[in-house]
Structures are given as C-alpha cells and as structure tokens.
Chains A and B, each alone.
Chain A
Amino acid sequence: MNISSASAGDQAGTIVAENLTKVFFSTARVPGPLGAVRSLIHPRRVATTAVDGVGFRIEPGRLAAFLGPNGAGKSTTIKMLTGILTPTGGRVEVNGLVPHKARIANARLVGAVFGQRSQLWWDLPAIDSLRVLADIHGVPPAELRVRLARFDRILELSAFWDNRARQLSLGQRVRCDLAAALIHDPPVLYLDEPTIGMDVVVKEQVREFLREQVEQRGRTVVLTTHDMTEVERLAGRVILINSGRIVYDGDLDGLRATHADAQDPTDLEAIMRHAFTADTDQDLDTLDMEQAVPAG
C-alpha cells in the first residue's frame, strides 16, 4: 500500500506503517583493560536491527495488540509510531502526519503510557500533575472537569489523586498515567505494557477503561503486552512480531487456525509458543506470558 496516496483520505485515528525499519548503532567493547584502550582508539561500530521492514495499517476506533518475545521490536515500533524515535528506513503516518517530523501537531493527536514509566511529577499530588498536563496541552478548565469526571467514573482516581505520585501504588500510578495520556482527548493511544506488575482487580479495571475508550469513544489503541488474558478480552486484531519482523497479522480466530497444530489450539499461550518456535529457536522462557483465559 502506498502511504502518500493513502494519507489524503485517512481519518483521524488511522495508523499506517510501510517497510518500517530501525537500526541502532553502538560501539562494541572488547573485554579487558587492553580491549578498553583498543575500543577507544579503534572503536568498532555494531549495527543492531531492532525493527526490520514492518508494515501494517490500523483503522480508526480499533484496538490492535502487538505481541512478541522480549526484544522482538514491539516497543521500538511503538516509539517510532509515537514519533519519539526516528525510523532508519520506511515510512510511518499517524493521523495523516509523519510523527517524528511533525512532533508538535502529532503530540496533540496521540497519547502514550510506557509501562511503569510515569509522566506524573514525583512530588506533586496526581491531580496537580493532571492539571499541569492539561495546561501544557491547552485543555480549557471546563473541559478538564468533564474529562476528569469521566476518567474517575471507571478508574476511581479521586480516591487517591490527592496523594503525591511517589506515594501511589503501581496500579494507582498507572491509572493516573492513563488519565494523563488521555487528558487532551487524542484519537490515538499507545500503551506499552501498561498492566505489567498489576494485580488482577486493577488489570480488569484498566481493561474496562480501554474497552470503553475503543468502543464508546472510538479511539484507536495500540497495545503491547505479554498478558494473554488482555489479548483475549480486548484485541480484535493481533500483530505478532519476532526479531523485528511481523510473523502474523490478523484476528485471533485466524491465528488459532494458522497454528491448529499447537499443543493446545484453544490456549493462546500455547499458540504463541508455537508461533515463535516456528519462527525462530528463541528461548521462550522470555515470553513471560500469563495463563490465557478464554474470552467471554
């Protein structure tokens, strides 16, 4: 698909990637004191391809889950979609914009939560952080009140948002970070392992919130996770990525059909193991997946 032609008619919330590639360069260190001197005089540059020719299109108001082992390239892909990382090659358009080139415009149209990395100010009550972020995004006070009330209805933030971020539990902080990411009401939301380390109750609360954002608000959500329950409950579409390449892109039923010869074709975790062992001999201990629970 040609992005330039696709972008003209794309709606807000559309995400398109074409042959997206990211190569990181680093200096290889030779062990030992002499090696350190050699590295200083003759540094050997090493190229690592984190994402290798990834392409997909996500329509507005859909939730797509990026799945893959640690180091597969999921987070790097998301960071290129957000515009934080500049791709080495290929093209990306989100909301009809090239994110890393139009960072200011892009920032108004996307929100993100990167795992346990919080954008709340450590020594401020969470509500103050949300107010400051609303100011940074230019959200009018009346609109802010409506949005905070909406977030509070499902995420129950008012029970703890007077506490400083440093005093919040992980689950409380991530819920506040979800509100922070959506304070400016962006059409696109990126979530990089948002529920990692959370207890089951909070996870369910976050899932409910995400479901509402997609189904009621029509937000496009891109999610990376190792939690198969989350995938079963939320994702209409899964994109499997391994060693920087897409190995599957489609719905869950298609994935099950493709890997019908997995040990237990009803168990998503077993299907994942099958998919990734078929693709590489990677050590699947790194998958760190939870037991899948069938949908419904």
Chain B
Amino acid sequence: MTLAAIDPPQLQRQSRRQSQRAWRAARVTLLAEFNQWGRVGSVLFMLLARTCLCFWLWQALYRSTSTSAGMNRSQATTYALLGVFYMSFRSVNRWANRDMMVQHMLDGTIAYWFLRPVTPRRYYCVRALGDLAYGGAWAALAYTVCRSTGLIAAPVSAAAGLGAAGSLVLGLAILYYLQQLIDLACFWTVVNFQLVVMYGIVQNVLAGALVPLWFFPGWFVGFDRWLPFQGTLNVPLSLYLGVLPMSGLVRDLALQAGWIALLAVLTALVWRRAGARVTVLGG
C-alpha cells in the first residue's frame, strides 16, 4: 500500500496521544556511557579521589578539636562524604556527549525535539531520569562501600534514614526543575554559559555543598531556609545526621514539596512559551 492511500482522519485519531514507549529514551545515558569505558573509569576515579580527599580533609580539620559548630568529627565527615556521593547523581558528562540543551540550540538540532510524538518537556524529563538513575547507581555504590568500611556513620535512627531518603528524592526533584529553568533560558538567550556559572555558585553555597551551612551565621541560614536550594542537599543530609529533628520532618518535606509544585508550574509555563520561540540558527 502506498502512503497516500492512508486515510488521514484515521491517522490523526491514532496520533494525538504522546508516544507510550518514549520513556525508553532514558536508556540513551547508559548506552552512551557504556560505549566509552574510559568515561566510566573517569567517573570511578573522580568519585574515589573526591571521597579520599574529602575524608582526609575533614579528619585533619578535626584533629585538634572534637566539636566545631556543634558537629563532631563523625558527623562532619559523614556530611561531607554524603555531599560527595550526592554530586555523583550528576556524573553524566552531557557536554562531552554534545547533548546539552545549549549545544542543541547552537547546533540547531533542538528542532528535532519538536518533531517527535512526545513533548520536548517530557523528553527532557525522560533523559534526566536516565541520567539520575545512572548517577544514582554510582552514589548508591559509594554509599554502600563507605558504610560497610565505616567511613561514614549510619543515620541517627531508622526513621531519620527514611526521612532523609524521602527528602533526598524531593531534593533531586527540586534540583531537576532548577536545572531545567537554567536550560530553558537558552530559548531566550541562545547561550546560557554565564547563567550556568552564576547558578553553580549560588546552588553550591546556598545548598551547603561547598561548606556545611552550620558554619554560616544564623540569619543567613534562616533566610536560606525559605529558598529552594537548602532542600536539595542540606535538608536531607541534616535529617540523616539528626541535626534537623524528626519533629520538623513534615514541615521540611512540605516546604520541599511546595517548591517542587511551584517550580513544576513555572517550568510548564516556560516550556509553553519556549515552544513558540524556537529559532534554528543559520537557516
């Protein structure tokens, strides 16, 4: 049968829904990484180096004191190492894969995102989940090894562990939406390099990734508490260590969920506007 003989209304009826198998695009991450064992090796090396350096640094910092800013050596080391494992969630080097949104904008290949039976927003989500699963596997591996060797402490209680795990999932969702907004800026600015740098600094400082937040003044921590960044890292780790009490768990999780809802609505609106702003550079 030739294509022209196909009944268009029938085609249209079948084709309004988004593809149900598009989630399988999540495997692109794994396929790309496992096609280059050097890249897998470099992730392993970086994780190992960061873990060792971080462990030795915090051991050295606590050599002459047993407690600093209310935290003992074990808590500080555990916080720092969990922060390192957390960074593993973003192990995938999309830049090397020429698969960052800014690269698609510059190359003009963003056009293809609008020629698939799945919205660019859902495609972005599917790919991010693939990245997260790959990075999460590394983080889980590192956590298991360090727990079994005693480099990091166990959660203060089983409830704290569960609370921290729940908070971690919400924190990753916040991180996903924040990153998405930075990427979406490309539809207006084409490139977002400066924005990425600024966001990186703000995110790392306000989330407590560079320096644990307990070293900052009280007013700063109080102000930061109402921003989305703390929920990405400091809140789950503080719950794990018992720095944040379980009595405040519901409030902490609700604050994170509130940010997720707000950011989800915002990104949906931005995607809608972005769809009308697609330009393909160079003809």
Residues of A within 8 A of B (CB): 10-13, 24, 60-61, 70-71, 75-76, 79, 82-86, 95-97, 102-105, 107-112, 114-115, 117-119, 121-125, 128, 132-133, 135-138, 164, 166, 184-187, 192, 216-220
Contact = CB atoms under 8 A, between A and B. Distances in A.
Given A104-B17, A123-B36, A60 B4 contact: yes
A12 B111 contact: no
Contacts of A166: 98
Given A121-B97, A136-B21, A137-B117, A217 B3 contact: yes
Interface stretch (B26-34, B54-62, B181-189, B213-221): B26-34
B194 interface: no
Contacts of A83: 114-115
A105 B280 contact: no
A112 B283 contact: no
Contact of B32 (A85, A96, A121, A136): A121
Contacts of B117: 104-105, 107-108, 136-138, 184
Contacts of B275: 103
B3 A135 contact: no
A121 B130 CA distance: 14
A104 B278 contact: no
Contacts of A107: 114-117
Please name the 3 residue pairs, one residue from A and one from B, whose CB atoms are nearest each other, closest first: A218-B2, A60-B4, A108-B15
B16 A105 contact: yes
Contacts of A95: 8, 11-12
Nearest to A166: B98
B31 A128 contact: yes
Given A107-B116, A121-B97, A135-B21, 5 more contacts: A12-B3, A79-B280, A83-B114, A124-B28, A132-B25
A111 B12 CA distance: 16
B115 A112 contact: yes
Contacts of A185: 3
Given A84-B115, A104-B18, A218-B2, A10 B8 contact: yes
A82 B99 contact: no
Interface in B232-283: 275-276, 278-280, 283
Contacts of A186: 3
